[in-house]
Amino acid sequence: MDLMEQETRLTESQPVPHDTAATPGTLRPGGRTAKVRRAVLDATQDALADTGFHALNMDRIAASAGVGKTTVYRRWGSPVGLVTDLLHDMAEQSLPAADTGGLTGDLRANAELVRDTLTDPRMGAVFRAVIAAAACDEECARALAAFYRTRLAEWAPVVTRAAARGEVPEGTDPVELLRAVSAPLYYRFTITHEELTGAVTERAVTAALAAARDGAFLRE
Amino acid sequence: MDLMEQETRLTESQPVPHDTAATPGTLRPGGRTAKVRRAVLDATQDALADTGFHALNMDRIAASAGVGKTTVYRRWGSPVGLVTDLLHDMAEQSLPAADTGGLTGDLRANAELVRDTLTDPRMGAVFRAVIAAAACDEECARALAAFYRTRLAEWAPVVTRAAARGEVPEGTDPVELLRAVSAPLYYRFTITHEELTGAVTERAVTAALAAARDGAFLRE
DNA sequence: CCCTTAATGGGAGGCTGGTTCCGTTAAGAT
DNA sequence: ATCTTAACGGAACCAGCCTCCCATTAAGGG
């Protein structure tokens, strides 16, 4: 990854002809640049969906995005770079949390959202790829963590409201509870590669809820 | 991956000039062959520990194992193949479960074992690689699942004993409870890449235990 | 101990993924 | 509208990964 060192260049002469082309796409994000990014990220998702991360190839992406491969190499540098940017892109599209009126329902909605996402052939493949890429690259790992931070922050109010209603102890850490719901699903998805059934989802909810009521997720 | 079909061998007739070199290393696993495997798997672990999965390279492995690269290509085929075999190797080395006399202590011992493993620089890197490889390759995913099936089976008695002592409801699914303990740790390890602190470990235990007492893991 | 042949090992060659060069296009400023 | 230059794109170039060929070594059976 070499997208990072633009500061180190050109400490030299007078005119300082602009920190030329330090990070393509950030200085002049006009219509064309944006369109290229969109095309490339879409192509990346497609590729991940049907060939997986190991087969992700810059040349192929450039071709199927209808973009010069030089551009892809310059702006993203590597397959991991593509996935990382895809992740940033995904983090921007937020979808609102549920509000069913009860914590059980809300958590169930969350668990089912996770399940549906991971079960969907396209999205499931994308998440597998992203997780694999994060295991290989620090920068990508940060992007993945940021993505989930965003997501969990959106759902946190669900728990806060429930605490106000007395469904879980006051002082329950919302993020902690939400992670407890997701964790078993992701465990199966990444480690044991089991099918994510309705029973598994439901159990994740009831177990997390039981623990929460028992005060296992009290913020300290 | 072609390491699996050795059973198909030699069900055959008289002469049949042997299914020559069907799967190198399975037909004549003499001293040299075994030594080569050991050297290669060790080299693989070393490489994973200090450069990670993305940089895993067959030629380099061959060189650092002091083995011909042809051999590595022939027997393992790809980086994923190496990791898969490493996983099979790891599954063979079992270490016994704890027995502290109480379920809380046993589960804590389990959680701390997981934590220590994932925290260890060498083993942590290996597990990251294995998870990434499993995300890329079906065969590797199966090997990973098998590894954990073995591990969990070793620890299952811990829960069975506890149920007999009345610490959790009769009919509690041991594997389900054990997975509930590990899941939050693996979630952090693979998804959010957070540090696995003692607090996280302890919370995983208490949460799983609370859920279990509440009957969330009853076998149906 | 000898024989057969599985398995290893070195090296040459091709392919594919990645880099660089330089001309072209169009974003954004005046 | 015009100009500057960021960003794109084509194509040649380079390198490292993988494969194939064949000679060599040593298991395992007699």
Q: Say whether B155 sits in a helix, a strand or coil.
A: helix
- pLDDT tens digit sequence for A6-33: 333 322 333 333 334 457 777 666 677 8
Give ∠ CA B115-B119-B123 in degrees, rounded to 5. 105
The pair phi, psi for residue B218, each rounded to 5°, is -65, 135
Amino acid identity of B1?
M
The DSSP call for residue B191 is I
d(CA A109, CA A100): 8
Q: Which residues pair with A172 in a beta bridge?
A: A218
Q: What percentage of chain A has pLDDT greater than the value 90? A: 80
Q: Using the predicted structure, report yes or no on whether residue A161 has a pLDDT greater than 60.
A: yes
Which residues contact residue B66 at a Cβ distance below 8 angstroms, ignoring those fewer than 6 apart? Answer: B39
Per-residue tokens: B135 = 């995300």
Question: Of B137, B141, B207, which has the smallest distance from its Cβ to A217's Cβ?
Answer: B207
- The per-residue pLDDT for A50 is 87
Average pLDDT in chain B: 89
- The per-residue pLDDT for A186 is 98
Q: Say whether B159 sits in a helix, a strand or coil.
A: helix
Residue A182 sits at the chain B interface (C-beta within 8 Å): yes
d(CA B141, CA B149): 12
Per-residue tokens: B163 = 């149920």
The shortest C-alpha distance from A27 to chain B (Å) reads 30
Would the CB atoms of A54 and B208 count as touching at under 8 Å? Answer: no
Helix ranges, B137-173 (H): 138-164
- Residues of chain B with Cβ-Cβ distance to A53 below 8 Å are 135-136
d(CA A153, CA A167): 20
Q: State the residue for tokens 């597990």.
A: B127
> Strand D within 7 Å of which CB atoms in B 41-70?
57-60, 69-70
Question: In a 10 Å sphere around its CB, with 0-12 CB exposed, 13-18 middle and 19+ buried, how is residue B13 labelled?
Answer: exposed
Measuring CA to CA, how many Å separate A13 from each of A7, A9, A16, A27, A140?
Answer: 15, 11, 6, 22, 35
CB A140 within 8 A of CB A133: yes
Q: Say whether B93 sits in a helix, a strand or coil.
A: coil
d(CA B205, CA A140): 30
Would the CB atoms of B191 and A136 count as touching at under 8 Å? Answer: no
Q: State the residue for tokens 């074992």.
A: B113
Handedness of CA A201, A202, A203, A205 (dihedral sign): positive
Residue of B192, B194, B219 to mutate, testing the A interface (most A Cβ within 10 Å of its Cβ): B192
Q: Give the largest CA-CA distance in chain A.
A: 68
> Strand C within 7 Å of which CB atoms in A 20-79?
28-33, 57-60, 69-70, 73-74, 77-79
Residue of A131, A138, A192, A194 to mutate, testing the B interface (most B Cβ within 10 Å of its Cβ): A192
Residue A131 sits at the chain B interface (C-beta within 8 Å): yes
Cα-atom radius of gyration of chain A, to the nearest Å?
21
**Quick check: B74 CB within 7 A of strand C?**
yes
Measuring CA to CA, how many Å separate A123 from each of A127, A130, A144, B161?
Answer: 6, 10, 15, 41
- pLDDT tens digit sequence for A138-151: 999 999 999 999 99
**Quick check: A71 CB within 7 A of strand D?**
yes
The DSSP call for residue A189 is I
CB B72 within 8 A of CB B58: yes
- The per-residue pLDDT for B22 is 60
For residue A54, which of B80, B52, B190, B44 has the smallest C-alpha distance? B80
Residue B214, sorted as left (phi over 0), alpha (psi -120 to 50) or beta, turns out to be: alpha
pLDDT along chain B (220 residues), means of 10: 35 36 69 92 95 93 96 95 95 91 98 98 95 94 96 97 97 98 98 97 98 96
- The model's confidence at residue A204, banded by pLDDT at 50, 70 and 90, is very high
- pLDDT tens digit sequence for A120-140: 999 999 999 999 999 999 999
CB B61 within 8 A of CB B82: yes
- pLDDT tens digit sequence for A38-77: 999 999 999 999 898 998 999 999 999 999 999 999 999 9
Q: B129: nearest CA in chain A?
A: A135
In this predicted structure, which of A87-96, A164-173, A183-192, B76-85 has the lowest mean pLDDT?
A87-96
**Quick check: B24 CB within 7 A of strand C?**
yes
> Between these two residues, A84 and B17, which has the higher pLDDT value?
A84
Report chain C positions within 7 A of protein CB atoms. Answer: 5-11, 16-22, 26-28
Per-residue tokens: A150 = 């965003």
d(CA A89, CA A191): 26
CB A196 within 8 A of CB A115: yes
- The per-residue pLDDT for B195 is 97
Instruction: Report the nucleotide nearest the CA of residue A58, measured to C1'.
Output: C17
Protein residue nearest nucleotide D26, by CA to C1': B32
Residue B181, sorted as left (phi over 0), alpha (psi -120 to 50) or beta, turns out to be: alpha
